[in-house]
Amino acid sequence: MTTGCPPWQRLASSGKAGHLAAALAGALSPLALAPLNWWPLGIVSAALLAWLIGALPPASAALRAFCYGLGQFTVGASWIYVSINNHGVQSPLLAGTITAAHSALWALCCYALPWWLWRRLPLASGAGGLLWVFPALWVLSEWIRCWLFTGFPWLLIGYGHLQTPLAGWAPVGGVLLLSFAVAQSGAALLCLLQGNARRTALLVLAVLWGGGAWLNTVEWTQPTAQAPVRIALVQANIPIQYKWEPSQRQEIIAHYRQLSAPLWAEHQIIVWPETAQPNWYNDSLRLLRESSATASATGSTLLSGIIERQGERREDYRFYNAVWALGADEGRYHKRHLVPYGEYWPLAKWLRILVPFLDLNVLSGFEVGAARQPLLQAAGHAIAPYICYEIVFPDLVREATVRGASFLLTVSEDTWFGRSMMPHQHLQMAQMRALENGRALLRGTNGGISALVDHRGRLVASSKLFQREVISGQLSARDGLTPFARLGSLPTLLLCAMLLAMGTAVRLHNTPEATA
């Protein structure tokens, strides 16, 4: 490095200062998402990562990308600390250690590895590599977190663009295609600032943003002939520390009955949140029968989250996190994608052998629901139900749309995460599922944020955090399929694979060894 280099160039090529700058750039990216929604920061953050990595050797590029990921997950997933410290009854030191380890693991897998590959493999460099290979690798990093260790598809940068022209790409290729567009916009911005391939960069930006704006005018799905459905979401705001206390059961039940009493006659669908019943389904039959009878008498349907227990003897018990339809329509759904350690123990069989006194059924012993379950029926429409973080998996949700779902439903218990970013992020991801599939969505939570979302991902009505209230409104059922609903994320992944292959071919063709 020469002393005549500008300060910004010295920062990119330096060691510790460059790594610190990468961590700060990563910390910017969650600010582009809910609740702040400062979406330009996502583009700037991607541009900074591309600039800070530059032409570094593989090991240095991996370390710098790791620092970027560490900054991103430390800020964006800080709510993990809130859950462990406030409700896991763990010390701040232990909660902080677990949160830091979580951030480091995902930074290593989703950033260090892809950007090590970028510098290690013969991929195109220069403006071409920046404009095409960089966004392809970005999508690869986000795709990895969609399935690795059962998946943690949080903080995908495309979520920040629900209300920008780029949103038009969501029904075409899903949130991963939006992330590609954001990363490519950042790369194009960097090209413009560095004076490299400016015409190409401007053309890329025109296609991304102009094309997205035009796609926003396309109606991929159509409203059905039926009248809009009248829906009410009951948010009882039961404190999580009291929810499972036996002494609180009657009071909790009374809250739900009181809040729901004036709703039955005026609404076709009433939604109670995940685990709304503070007891097993088998032990709550009386309340459920009463609620079901009331709903049936008024021609409405109750959709309620509940824990279901199957089996006659304790040693044969099987537990399911479920959603039940009661009243005018009946049915149930068992959660398919469980939360590790929260709802099941990985390697439970071996843990029982090694630690025989550990009762895994009591701690986290839920069973996985069947892969293809019947859709729930309500108000004459098929409804695709999802519980808690199932809604954050794009390709899991779109499967039900192909099977004929007219509405999407998600119930959740976000009270575990306090007034952190998490409830806002969770709602934003649910909104993206509505936009991707062209389906209105019902979101019922215990402590917020409950919401009615239209088929374009826009909020029709929503609640506030930690407030007892009822949200009501009308949503229209939709027919037809978006391109994403038909094909899922596969076309976007194939596009990225093709770009990586082309980048490799270009690099090999231009090396002296290849032309000799």
Are 28 and 45 within 8 A, CB to CB? yes
Among 226, 275, 270, residue whose Cα is nearest residue 252: 275
Residue of 274, 367, 413, 436 marked catalytic: 274
Active site includes 469?
no
Q: Does residue 35 have a cis peptide bond before it, meaning omega lies within 30 degrees of 0?
A: yes
Are 333 and 368 within 8 A, CB to CB? no
Are 56 and 64 within 8 A, CB to CB? yes
The counts of H helices and E strands in the chain are 21, 14
**Alpha-carbon distance 314 to 99, whole Å?**
35
Q: What contacts 245, CB < 8 A, 6 or more positions away?
A: none
**Alpha-carbon distance 46 to 500, whole Å?**
18
The CA-atom distances, in angstroms, between 354 and each of 44, 132, 315, 347, 357 are 50, 50, 18, 11, 9
Residue of 110, 191, 388, 496 marked catalytic: 388
- What letter would DSSP give residue 335? -
| Residue 101 buriedness (CB in 10 A; 0-12 / 13-18 / 19+) | exposed
**Alpha-carbon distance 121 to 435, whole Å?**
36
**Alpha-carbon distance 335 to 366, whole Å?**
9
Residue of 109, 335, 367, 413 marked catalytic: 335
Q: Is the dihedral of CA 115, 116, 121, 125 positive or negative?
A: positive
**Alpha-carbon distance 67 to 61, whole Å?**
10
Are 45 and 25 within 8 A, CB to CB? yes
What is the number of other CB atoms lying within 10 angstroms of the CB of residue 262?
11
**Alpha-carbon distance 166 to 50, whole Å?**
21
Q: Is the dihedral of CA 175, 180, 185, 186 positive or negative?
A: positive
Q: At CA 215, angle to CA 214 and CA 218, rounded to 5?
A: 105
Active site includes 274?
yes
**Alpha-carbon distance 515 to 100, whole Å?**
48
Are 181 and 138 within 8 A, CB to CB? no
User: Could you list the active site residues?
Assistant: 274, 335, 388
